[in-house]
Amino acid sequence: MKLDIKAMALTFAIFFGLGLFLLTWWVILFDGASTEPNMVSTLYRGYSFSPLGSFIGLAWAFADGAVGGTCIAWVYNMLIDKKQNS
């Protein structure tokens, strides 16, 4: 059974985007906003533990999740095709 590439991309995008968005607000609520560099800000330009940074991170993680979901589904479908043809 093949995976739907668009559905997988959208699922990963929503999961990654909302995950980072909610994590950012969790940190803001308990530790306060901070513009100090962190591990995620080295990957996503403009991201920080701030209200604006949460939306920047949402956009970056959404795009990153979409690309990752597309790649995973594409590779999976290729492997399934290869297995069925042999």
Pairwise CA distance, residues 84 & 41, whole Å: 43
- 9 occurs within a structural domain: yes
Give 26-68 pLDDT, tens digit per residue.
999 998 888 788 888 889 999 999 999 999 999 999 999 999 9
Phi-psi region of 46 (alpha: psi -120 to 50; beta: other; left: phi over 0): left
Residue 36 confidence (pLDDT): 83
Pairwise CA distance, residues 39 & 49, whole Å: 11
Residue 59 confidence (pLDDT): 97
Range of the domain at 63: 5-80
Provide the token pair at 81.
């095709």
**Is 10 within 8 Å of 69 (Cβ atoms)?**
yes
- Domain count along the chain: 1
- 85 occurs within a structural domain: no
Averaged pLDDT of the chain: 93
Q: Catalogue the E-assigned strands of the chain.
A: none
Q: What pTM was estimated for this model as a whole?
A: 0.88
